[in-house]
Structure 1
Amino acid sequence: MKNYGCACLLFFAVLASQAQNDSISNREFGNNEIKLNAIMLLLGSFEPSYEYNLSESSSVGVSLFIPFDDENFDVSTNYYISPYYRIFFGQKYAAGFFLEGFAMLNSSDREHYDHSQEGNYKYWEEDVTDFALGFGLGGKWMTRGGFVFEVTGGIGRNLFTKSNDDYYNYSPIVGKFGFNLGFRF
């Protein structure tokens, strides 16, 4: 019951913050944003982002994902570079609810198992590079001082590598999610 109450309180706090009418305009800050995904940093990966605001309702950006802690963060992805385009539906300049379309050049380790008729099997890993297209959604908030934070999530599909019985850990689906913290300048 306590968790239900906390969830309701958080929900109403988010709604109240969306309903406020701030006078933050583009003239107070520039069109550039740099951000860092705090969730991925805690899990053992580095994911910085750069975003350029094209207008009050659209922006383009790019994010880079590099894992650095393989022991605690079991991920088969070696890296990805993901350009994106966002359309905003909020009242503030390049903030509020958004929809995102993204592309992703990604490299991952694929594990192979080959079983022989004698009962033996052979195992090896292969680095596979692929290209994915996807979509996402999220919300972005900005303080009067230019501090930006956003919650985002997205899903896409790799286009070139086909599923194969020899791949042990292959999935054509890719995902992006995070809680990004940054600054608009």
Structure 2
Amino acid sequence: MVVLNKIYTRTGDAGDTALGNGDRVAKHSARVAAYGTSDELNCTLGVARLHAEGELDTALSRIQNDLFDLGADLCRPDMEQDAEAEYPPLRVIDGQVSRLETEIDAMNAGLTPLRSFILPGGTALAAHLHICRTVARRAERLAVELAAAEAVNPAAVKYLNRLSDWFFVAARVANNGGQDDVLWVPGANR
């Protein structure tokens, strides 16, 4: 259980922050950039949810919770020491990735196949989900960059990769099942 009695601690005033294992790193480190961007994505998703209803809102709520799991995973670098940790570290698991794949397949089954690229837009929810998609791609790039230098849970990277696909398909669903998709017309304004 997390207890936050005091919001400011002054411990980061010199430009460093604590990771989940207690190590201190610069606030501009690759690890902080990766989990910070997953937090940004969660906030962006919160705005998207202002336009969501029903099953789609329920799924977005699940993803918001997963993004906190992802942030907890990315902020703890010592995966090889997980077994010795005082409490079991929270890690994204392959089952979370599989759930996204199942949901993508289910949503996509009701959509007409694309014959063009889609411009971000259509309904308000679809436009916000496209923003979520691009922030998820950035979070993925940062996680991959981090993984090139330090240990990163492979399931966390896979989750971000699937999540951007999930947002793309969900944006089509939010565009009245793809009927309000805004299609790219190559060279239309030459």
TM-score of the superposed pair, with normalisation by structure 1: 0.26
TM-score of the superposed pair, with normalisation by structure 2: 0.25
**Structure whose CA Rg is larger:** 1
Relative to its length, the structure with more strand (as a share) is 1
